[in-house]
A and B are shown apart, each in its own frame.
Chain A
Amino acid sequence: MFQTDYKKIFNALKDAGYEIYAPVKTPDGIYVKAIESEKDADYSGKFPADSWKQLIYPSAEVVFRAKNDKLAAVKTKHPRVAFWGINVVDLKALQLFDLIFKNYPFYIERRKSIFIMGFSAKPLVEYQNFSFEIHSDILERLNYDLFILKRGTGLKLYSASATADRLLKAAGTKADVLAHPQEPIQEDRRVAALKKLVESSQSHPVWQALNERCIACGKCSIVCPTCYCFDLIDTVHTNEAERKRVWGDCFYSEFTRIAGNYIFLKNPSEKLFFWYTHKFSRIPEHLKFPGCVGCRRCYEVCPVFIDIEETLADLKTDKAEKSTR
């Protein structure tokens, strides 16, 4: 029965001109890919190996152009893109981008053209993880247009935007609306505890032990759904110059190199510590939001099997035993 609903909504999105992206099972694992039919999507609720961020925050984009000592407007027509079946944890990560870049027009404009359909095949509290608390009201607090919750043999639909309402009308179906919670969000005790743990850990032997393992390849930050560091890179053409925002990577020495060739993060240990302090200290400090959503993509992609959850657990002990194995 619910397959009919999927099809109707999918077709309504297609008709509205959206390019639809979904987790897709491939021989190499699940990846976020463009799909032509709702049947192409993976509905297991598992994390894709890559993150959704490149759709909302591409690896490079022009922030301005300049011509003859004058700024030239950047005209970008963003295609309509729909996220088909992003899970609640990845939605939490996207919410971080909405927070950070709320005043940045290059982000806002693209964001307007994105339709987000969340999906869960299991009760949401089952997404519980090591890095932040998932409460029963999580759906009320995330940013999406439509959320589909699989319940037994049926589907529960929640609409959170006028775009979703229009779409559902076109699809001949309806959704519930969740009231926006009145009470302010409670401090996440897990995030607070990890902040304290990581901030006070600089001299912990775990970092030295990881220095021997980490090869600073930077793959973790590429797949991380919350890594958003960027460089501003200029290029010059015949009579026009442009400045681009380009993904940065704190594992590369260039990241902290200043004039005179001084590098502040000198070895894998300092780079890892920087990466952890961004997620567990700076983001919670400045945005009151978890900087890690506990998806473990970084572990899945790490060539030397550094396990973020294990590292945090090791920081709670006095030894570096686990990390040295």
Chain B
Amino acid sequence: MTKCMNNPFQTKPTTIVNIKDETQDVRLFRLAGRVDFEHGQFMMVGIPGFGEAPFDICSDNRQKKYFEVCIRKVGGLTEKIFTLERGNKLWIRGPYGHSFPPLAKLPTKNLLMLGGGTGFITLRSIVREFIRDHRLGATDVQIYYGARDWSCLLFKDEYEEWRKRVKLELVLEKKEGDQACDLGLITDLFTIKPPKNKDLTVIMCGPPVMYKFVLQKIKALDVPDENIFLSMERRMFCGQGVCEHCGIGPKYVCKDGPVFTYAEAKLLPGAL
């Protein structure tokens, strides 16, 4: 008899304590319970009968009562998740994966973070730690966030609080009126709002096409490959380096990643 006790695919129900609409098709789900995670790690979240998928945890990583995942309605599972209400259950297992470096141990004092589209979700937990932990005060943080238009921007009501601690630069492909942002692609920010200091650590999360062009810009600033951290996305079922869907060269995105340094990622055939 297979006991659920030691089943590595075991998933457990947890209560949705809050749901917040971030955009028309993105919702922030606050789930009850403590998850000890590091920035960039992910949870498998789902509903038995409808599947599960990996979602980056985007809440403060010292929060003990709840954790948050931000979900875009994009397929069968997420459509079902969007029918849930506060008090309903989501099923979780994790956290999984290799994280970004601890913020106290970044290689340089200047941090540039880049988020493209829903990739930006992953960076929220990092911002929250910078706001909470004053010991990290010596680190200068600049964020580039690129999205399609104003309606796609996530966590808008938090920017005021964030801006007391980090420099947040927004760039949109479509800009209307006096929206407080620049017009263009995320790569344009390197010209419009260039990093003051070239002694940089870079943390980024976005679609594969973003990496391709952003990396050219970052390399032009002579940032060492080891100081560039990026999170990769692949299809995943197990989260444990077994099911094979996320394999790249000798590595698994779920287990050896999702965070890789550029020094590691550039050696993985077909990764970027």
Given A66-B48, A241-B48, A243-B48, does the pair A274, B78 have CB atoms closer than 8 Å?
A: no
By a CB distance below 8 angstroms, the chain A residues around B233 are 258
Distance to closest chain B CB from A194 (angstroms)? 12
Considering the chains assembled together, what is the distance between the CA atoms of A101 and B25 in angstroms?
Answer: 38
Does A325 belong to the interface (CB within 8 Å)? no
Of B1, B10, B72, which is in contact with the most chain A CB atoms at under 10 Å from its CB? B1
Distance to closest chain B CB from A99 (angstroms)? 11
Of the stretches B32-40, B107-115, B181-189, B244-252, the one at the interface is B244-252
Of the stretches A114-122, A157-165, A280-288, the one at the interface is A280-288
Residue of A nearest to B242 (CB): A100
**Interchain CB contact under 8 A, B243 and A230:** yes
One of A66, A72, A286 near B91 (C-beta < 8 A): A66
By a CB distance below 8 angstroms, the chain A residues around B47 are 241
**Interchain CB contact under 8 A, B234 and A63:** no
**Interchain CB contact under 8 A, B242 and A259:** no
Does A217 belong to the interface (CB within 8 Å)? no
Of the stretches B49-57, B129-137, B192-200, B218-226, the one at the interface is B49-57
**Interchain CB contact under 8 A, A257 and B2:** no
Given A74-B1, A234-B48, A258-B233, does the pair A64, B9 have CB atoms closer than 8 Å?
A: yes
Does B102 belong to the interface (CB within 8 Å)? no
**Interchain CB contact under 8 A, B250 and A259:** no
Does B177 belong to the interface (CB within 8 Å)? no
Does A229 belong to the interface (CB within 8 Å)? yes
By a CB distance below 8 angstroms, the chain B residues around A231 are 237, 243, 245
By a CB distance below 8 angstroms, the chain A residues around B9 are 63-64, 232, 243, 245
By a CB distance below 8 angstroms, the chain B residues around A257 are 235
Does A248 belong to the interface (CB within 8 Å)? yes
**Interchain CB contact under 8 A, A277 and B250:** yes
Does A242 belong to the interface (CB within 8 Å)? yes
Does A193 belong to the interface (CB within 8 Å)? no
By a CB distance below 8 angstroms, the chain A residues around B4 are 64, 71-74
**Interchain CB contact under 8 A, A66 and B49:** yes
**Interchain CB contact under 8 A, B241 and A286:** yes
By a CB distance below 8 angstroms, the chain A residues around B244 are 228-230, 248, 250, 278, 282
**Interchain CB contact under 8 A, B238 and A202:** no
One of B7, B74, B207, B235 near A63 (C-beta < 8 A): B7
By a CB distance below 8 angstroms, the chain A residues around B3 are 73, 105
Considering the chains assembled together, what is the distance between the CA atoms of A73 and B9 in angstroms?
Answer: 13
Considering the chains assembled together, what is the distance between the CA atoms of A5 and B235 in angstroms?
Answer: 51
**Interchain CB contact under 8 A, A104 and B269:** no
Considering the chains assembled together, what is the distance between the CA atoms of A250 and B52 in angstroms?
Answer: 20
Distance to closest chain B CB from A138 (angstroms)? 26
By a CB distance below 8 angstroms, the chain A residues around B250 are 195, 199, 277, 281-282, 285-286
Does A19 belong to the interface (CB within 8 Å)? no
By a CB distance below 8 angstroms, the chain B residues around A259 are 53, 72, 74-75, 78
Residue of B nearest to A270 (CB): B270
Considering the chains assembled together, what is the distance between the CA atoms of A243 and B72 in angstroms?
Answer: 23
One of A106, A230, A256 near B2 (C-beta < 8 A): A106
Considering the chains assembled together, what is the distance between the CA atoms of A103 and B235 in angstroms?
Answer: 22
Distance to closest chain A CB from B85 (angstroms)? 14
Considering the chains assembled together, what is the distance between the CA atoms of A74 and B3 in angstroms?
Answer: 7
Considering the chains assembled together, what is the distance between the CA atoms of A202 and B268 in angstroms?
Answer: 10
By a CB distance below 8 angstroms, the chain B residues around A176 are none
**Interchain CB contact under 8 A, B245 and A229:** yes
Q: Which chain A residues (240-255) contact chain B, with CB distance < 8 Å?
A: 241-243, 245, 248, 250, 255
**Interchain CB contact under 8 A, A105 and B7:** yes
Distance to closest chain B CB from A311 (angstroms)? 16
**Interchain CB contact under 8 A, A104 and B8:** yes
By a CB distance below 8 angstroms, the chain A residues around B251 are 282, 285
Residue of B nearest to A254 (CB): B235
Of B50, B53, B208, B244, which is in contact with the most chain A CB atoms at under 10 Å from its CB? B244
Of B89, B237, B250, which is in contact with the most chain A CB atoms at under 10 Å from its CB? B250
**Interchain CB contact under 8 A, A282 and B247:** yes
Does A152 belong to the interface (CB within 8 Å)? no
Does B101 belong to the interface (CB within 8 Å)? no
**Interchain CB contact under 8 A, A264 and B1:** no
One of A64, A75, A260, A273 near B1 (C-beta < 8 A): A75
One of A103, A104, A250, A258 near B234 (C-beta < 8 A): A258
**Interchain CB contact under 8 A, A248 and B51:** no
Does A153 belong to the interface (CB within 8 Å)? no
Residue of A nearest to B234 (CB): A264
**Interchain CB contact under 8 A, A73 and B249:** no
One of B48, B72, B237, B252 near A282 (C-beta < 8 A): B252
**Interchain CB contact under 8 A, B7 and A232:** no
Distance to closest chain A CB from B7 (angstroms)? 6
**Interchain CB contact under 8 A, A69 and B237:** no
**Interchain CB contact under 8 A, B247 and A64:** no
One of B8, B50, B234, B243 near A229 (C-beta < 8 A): B243
By a CB distance below 8 angstroms, the chain B residues around A241 are 47-50
Query: Can you sample 8 A-B contacts with CB below 8 Å?
Result: A69-B13, A71-B11, A100-B242, A195-B250, A230-B243, A243-B9, A248-B237, A286-B250
Chain A interfacial positions (CB closer than 8 Å to B) = 63-66, 69-76, 100-101, 103-106, 109, 195, 199, 202, 228-236, 241-243, 245, 248, 250, 255-260, 262, 264, 270, 273-274, 277-278, 281-282, 285-286
Q: Which 8 A-B pairs have the closest CB atoms?
A: A241-B49, A236-B49, A66-B48, A241-B48, A202-B269, A229-B244, A285-B250, A259-B74
